[in-house]
Amino acid sequence: MVYLTRLEHFNAAHKLYNAGWTPEKNEQVFGKCANENWHGHNYELYVTVKGQPSPDTGFVFDVKQLSLLIREHVIEKVDHLNLNMDVDFMKGKMCSTENLAIGIWNELKKHLPAGVQLHGIKLYETPRIYVEYFGEV
């Protein structure tokens, strides 16, 4: 099995805020991330697919096509937007990096061609914080 990864990038705004809690509790739990007037991150998105290299091309998957799929089904939906307000697959969820990684997985999974297996999503929120998601087993 060979693992192939494509890196994409996007910027987005969000806030972490639980409407069932008081402003004080939100501030206590989420700190600056609860800032009412939003804040942004430069996200780095690593998408890994897996498979056997094709005898015809030597590729697990055409990485240009992978890039186009990620851009069409994820980047276009989140880049320069507000994750809490503008992104259909994050509606009603806490906009944490954890939930965003799951949302991105679900979006990509349904648009990858048959025969291409999604292996993992690695999503950097900052250069020192990232989340990995490998689907449910």
CB-based contact 43:131 (threshold 8 Å): no
Q: Which helix (H) or strand (E) holds 25?
A: helix 23-30
Is-catalytic flag, 95? no
Binding mask 50-89 for Ni ion (x = CB under 5 A): ----------------------------------------
- Nearest CB to Ni ion, comparing residues 33 and 116: 33
CB-based contact 64:72 (threshold 8 Å): no
Determine the residue with CB nearest Ni ion: 33
Name which of residues 4 to 43 contact Ni ion (CB under 5 A). 33
Is-catalytic flag, 111? no
Is-catalytic flag, 14? no
Closest approach, Cβ 26 to Ni ion, in A, equals 13
Identity of the amino acid at 127: P
d(CA 33, CA 49): 32
Position of tokens 């950097």?
Answer: 124
Question: If binding is defined by CB under 5 A, does position 104 make contact with Ni ion?
Answer: no
Q: Which residues bind Ni ion (CB under 5 A)?
A: 33
